[in-house]
Structure 1
Amino acid sequence: MISYSTIICSSISALCVLSTFCMQAQSVWSSKKSSWIGISSADKTAIEDFSKKYTNYLYNARTELSSTKELIEESKKNGFTIYSKLSDIKPGAKLLFINRDRALIACIIGAQPFIKGSRLIAAHHDSPRIDIKARPLYETEGFAMFQTIYYGGIKKYQWANLPLMISGRIDTKDGKTTWIDIGKNPEDPVFVIPDAAPHVDSPLRNRTYTSVLEGEELDPVIGSIPDDKNSVFNGVMSLLHQQFGFQEEDFVSAELHITPASPPREIGFDRGLIGSYGQDDRSCSFAAMHSLLSLNDIPEFTSLAYIVDNEETGNVNNTGAASIFLNSVYSIISEATTKQQFNTNITNQALHNALVISADANDGISPLFPGLSEKSNAAKLGYGICIKRYGRSFDANSEFTAKIRNLLDINVIPWQTVTYKVETGGGGTIGGQMSKDDMNVIDIGIPLLSMHSPFEISSKIDLWNLNKFFTVFYSSK
């Protein structure tokens, strides 16, 4: 007969076993800690140094046009030259392929034959913004204004009452290009989209969240002083002609972009975050280029940074990821390294054997709106780079994902995953375009707060770890 005390002891033992099992069964994800924990003083210094280079780039690179200029200039400082002929291509060569001043490929030719494999990191450097229309200038209520059209997915109300700058290029019939950059420097004038005062805005208060400002209401004030005929229109046009030498019709062949004028800033008492316009996706563009430029040895496989335009509008046009620019560069390198004339089969083999990171920022879980994310699959700022898992056949295959996981773990680089909430979130990258060319592609990024806003937020340590990972990826076997 079993005694009462025996039953009690057995029950306690079972509870202990169950408790131990529950402790052991705790999810590995819930035990992950902030990447800041355990960081050495030397690493903190390295993080600050990297952050300063990054924010300097963000300050100067407000659009894909200025970003291309910055990246070319920095590449040349690090020994890269613009490709001109097949004989340029040899192991160790540092080359630039430039696509119409709006996209580029920087590469270091590796020791192995190109068709046996390559390491490519692709990112876009365009960001949501406001563009100027072909017939932009008009006068109303004593102000000169610009007609605009927004580019990419913006929340229109966020662009009111901000100091704005105008940059870009104007190409005239005589073949001349005039570069415009007004509002970035502290002594420059700025432009602003004026909102309605709360004293008089009652007719507007029933507008919905996304329609606080309509698309046709995103027109900035650009002048207010009339000429001697009381025309502000003529006054502004006269100034533009004096300063830049162009006529009103020259706006038709202009690419002028309106972006926030404010510089990047550190956020928080501890300065652990960076706030700036354009971090989607110049965060990944900068890291892709900076890590490539930092390689000291000839990589085993040819390493390429592919920086494209027009992602925010669907990868369109001849400088977007849907163009044949990447295929053309792969064809050139394949021809040069195999010593054979152009051959589609050889190019296809090089594309098939390429390992590709499609690098793009993703949404981080918000401290104010955590319910918009599915918490168990959300990304947190400061907790590492993100392997993106979209589902619905948009993911990398499992074997390539495992290879990336191994590369991260053996190099002790913190990482996490991100999957958007089902049926409520989403986003796209340039990865699908390269997958169509039979390349092996995985989506990697870092989390941001306030994505697509005029002031996005990133974590310094995530940026630093992203750069570390890109460096080891380029050098991977």
Structure 2
Amino acid sequence: MSLKHEFKNGWNVIREMNNMDNVMGYSKEYLDFLNKGKTERLCAREVIKLAKEQGFISFEEASKNNIKCGDKIFAENRDKGVALFVIGEKDIEQGMKIIASHIDSPRLDLKQNPLYEDSNMAYFKTHYYGGIRKYQWVTIPLALYGVVFLHDGTKVDISIGDEENDPVFCINDLLPHLSADQNQKKLAEGIAGEDLNVLIGSIPCEDEEEQSVKYNLLKLLNEKYNLTEEDFLSAELEIVPAGKARDLGLDKSMVMAYGQDDRVCAFAAVKAIFEIEKPEYTVVTLCVDKEETGSYGNTGMHSRFFENTVAELINLQVDYSDLKIKRALANSKVLSGDVNVAYDPNFASVYEKNNSAYAGKGVVLMKYSGSRGKSSTSDANAEFVSEVRRIFNQENVVWQTGELGKVDQGGGGTVAYILANYGAEVIDCGVGVLSMHAPYEVVSKADIFEMYRGYKAFFNINL
């Protein structure tokens, strides 16, 4: 055994294992998943659709006292989250193998009263969701997705901007000829939050004198969706980048797409659990909402959804008790499927090279996240890091380690600490991302394939 350790280049290992066709096939499925799941609701629906095709049934369909090893069950959380279970041989109170990822992504949400007219143009007022760099969202084509509950309670799905004949929307920017004052501002202040107003139309209604452009657009929305202005109050409408996920590079070695943080990990976890038949321990793929805003709310990781779902599972299997729930969670082992930052030589000053993740060098283990002084991190212990490392090595998974930049440069958080609060063993495990939180993010196909292989190994192997 060599005393010196160097992380491998994933593409070299992929060639050695004759996995190139598998990498490209996996990536094609992943791109399709991203295109069908541009919001957390659409993503959750796609996960459930795929799960049903693989034989998963809902908790409502499962029969009490008839749950056995290999059974596949799913639970849905308000159309925004999903938990997939494959029942193991051991009693659930001995713990589970869990991979948890979030499926929400930074975006712009429409305000409660969004529609207004100014200077013969109509706009939507927005409130940004999650950590965005506001200047990146101007002048790019944008799409509108979401749901509206009409005055009579009817639910309407809205999707405008990604079909071939759809219009798109945009946020205006200031021309360079008049930007002398704007140029003096800090980058973060060049575009203010209240200036993220989405341009949506300009034709006036011929039989309306005041706010005629706004009225004309309301007529169009009413004709297509039966929507009135008051219905915006009971809507969840999101502005996201228009356009499909694409291969990047002459060699097609990378993926460029919106929302890869953190649907890239969610897809790998979903794909991995589909290939598990009769595990020793119950395995779980958990897809949650609201991570980008702190994991709060009844669809975030801070909610009791997962704990309550485990309670329901125990109630289906054995005699129920609160103690069994606590033991099941405390004895669990978790990969927090969240992305890391990939080293970018264009911005080398914010990274510490020896502890950075690199695109193409495999799935990333991040022992701790947080910011400065390890604030708000669960900090995985050495015992669990050793276990995951040995599992990956045993299956020849290409892996590396990474941190979120230099110590005092910034930082970030994941859902890891929330599951660790139950007493579970947790470590962050994802892929390095370039341009994280930008409208279009970039990942290596080698990394996402090795992450999928690593997740499958974690589910299968118990040391």
Shorter-chain TM-score above 0.5? yes
What TM-score comes out, normalization by structure 2 length? 0.94
Residues 1:308 and 2:283 are matched in the alignment: no
Q: How does 1:170-319 map to 2 (within 5 A)?
A: 170-228=148-206, 229=208, 231-295=212-276, 297-319=277-299
Contact 2:84 2:284 in 1 (8 A): yes
Residues 1:343 and 2:324 are matched in the alignment: no
Q: In structure 2, what is the equivalent of residue 71 of structure 1?
A: 47
Following the alignment from structure 2 to structure 1, what is the Cα–Cα distance between the partners of residues 87 and 224? 45
Following the alignment from structure 2 to structure 1, what is the Cα–Cα distance between the partners of residues 13 and 236? 47
Q: In structure 1, what is the equivalent of residue 35 of structure 2?
A: 59
Q: Gapped runs of 5+ residues in structure 2?
A: none
Q: Write the letter of the residue equivalent to 1:326.
A: F
Following the alignment from structure 1 to structure 2, what is the Cα–Cα distance between the partners of residues 235 and 73? 37
CA-to-partner distance for each residue in 1:26-78, whole Å, 9 max, x for gaps?
x523xx33111143384100000000000001111111011011111111111
Following the alignment from structure 1 to structure 2, what is the Cα–Cα distance between the partners of residues 186 and 370? 39
Residue 442 to residue 86, structure 1, CA distance change in 2 (3 Å): farther
Q: CA deviation at 1:330?
A: 1.3
Contact 1:131 1:150 in 2 (8 A): yes
Q: In structure 1, what is the equivalent of residue 403 of structure 2?
A: 419
Root-mean-square deviation over aligned CA pairs: 1.4
Contact 1:86 1:332 in 2 (8 A): no
Q: CA deviation at 1:205?
A: 1.3
Q: Percent identity?
A: 36
CA-to-partner distance for each residue in 1:187-215, whole Å, 9 max, x for gaps?
11100001111122222111111111100
What secondary structure, in the 3-state scheme, does the structure 2 residue paired with 1:72 have?
Answer: helix
Q: Write the letter of the residue equivalent to 1:67.
A: C
Select between 384-393 and 152-161 the one with higher mean Cα deviation. 384-393
Following the alignment from structure 1 to structure 2, what is the Cα–Cα distance between the partners of residues 33 and 402? 18
Q: In structure 1, what is the equivalent of residue 12 of structure 2?
A: 37
Q: Write the letter of the residue equivalent to 1:325.
A: F
What secondary structure, in the 3-state scheme, does the structure 2 residue paired with 1:96 have?
Answer: strand
Q: In structure 2, what is the equivalent of residue 168 of structure 1?
A: 146
CA-to-partner distance for each residue in 1:198-241, whole Å, 9 max, x for gaps?
12222211111111110001011111111013510100011001
Q: Write the letter of the residue equivalent to 1:161.
A: T
Residues 1:28 and 2:5 are matched in the alignment: yes
Q: Write the letter of the residue equivalent to 1:407.
A: I
Select between 118-127 and 204-213 the one with higher mean Cα deviation. 204-213
* Runs of 4+ displaced beyond 4 Å: none
Q: How does 1:132-151 map to 2 (within 5 A)?
A: 132-151=110-129
Q: In structure 2, what is the equivalent of residue 374 of structure 1?
A: 352
What secondary structure, in the 3-state scheme, does the structure 2 residue paired with 1:450 have?
Answer: coil
Q: In structure 2, what is the equivalent of residue 463 of structure 1?
A: 448
Q: How does 1:401-420 map to 2 (within 5 A)?
A: 401-420=385-404
Q: In structure 1, what is the equivalent of residue 70 of structure 2?
A: 92
Q: Write the letter of the residue equivalent to 2:5.
A: V
Q: CA deviation at 1:332?
A: 1.7
Following the alignment from structure 1 to structure 2, what is the Cα–Cα distance between the partners of residues 443 and 344? 28
Following the alignment from structure 1 to structure 2, what is the Cα–Cα distance between the partners of residues 178 and 171? 6
Q: CA deviation at 1:185?
A: 1.1
Q: In structure 2, what is the equivalent of residue 320 of structure 1?
A: 300
Following the alignment from structure 1 to structure 2, what is the Cα–Cα distance between the partners of residues 287 and 448? 15
Contact 2:85 2:283 in 1 (8 A): yes
Match among 394, 405, 424 for residue 439 of structure 1: 424
What secondary structure, in the 3-state scheme, does the structure 2 residue paired with 1:136 have?
Answer: strand
CA-to-partner distance for each residue in 1:338-395, whole Å, 9 max, x for gaps?
x21x311111111111111111011111120111111110000000111103373631
Residue 114 to residue 352, structure 1, CA distance change in 2 (3 Å): same
What secondary structure, in the 3-state scheme, does the structure 1 residue paired with 2:345 have?
Answer: coil
Following the alignment from structure 1 to structure 2, what is the Cα–Cα distance between the partners of residues 465 and 135? 45
Q: Write the letter of the residue equivalent to 1:55.
A: L
What secondary structure, in the 3-state scheme, does the structure 2 residue paired with 1:424 have?
Answer: coil
What TM-score comes out, normalization by structure 1 length? 0.91
What secondary structure, in the 3-state scheme, does the structure 2 residue paired with 1:46 have?
Answer: helix
Equivalent pairs, count: 448
CA-to-partner distance for each residue in 1:241-294, whole Å, 9 max, x for gaps?
110001101100100000001111111111101100100000001111111112
Residue 105 to residue 350, structure 1, CA distance change in 2 (3 Å): same
Q: CA deviation at 1:173?
A: 3.5
Q: Write the letter of the residue equivalent to 1:335.
A: N
Contact 1:90 1:109 in 2 (8 A): yes
Residues 1:476 and 2:461 are matched in the alignment: yes
Following the alignment from structure 2 to structure 1, what is the Cα–Cα distance between the partners of residues 91 and 426? 20
Q: CA deviation at 1:86?
A: 4.8
Following the alignment from structure 2 to structure 1, what is the Cα–Cα distance between the partners of residues 48 and 120? 43
Q: Gapped runs of 5+ residues in structure 1?
A: 1-23
What secondary structure, in the 3-state scheme, does the structure 1 residue paired with 2:176 have?
Answer: coil
Select between 145-154 and 207-216 the one with higher mean Cα deviation. 207-216
What secondary structure, in the 3-state scheme, does the structure 1 residue paired with 2:10 have?
Answer: coil
Residue 474 to residue 433, structure 1, CA distance change in 2 (3 Å): same
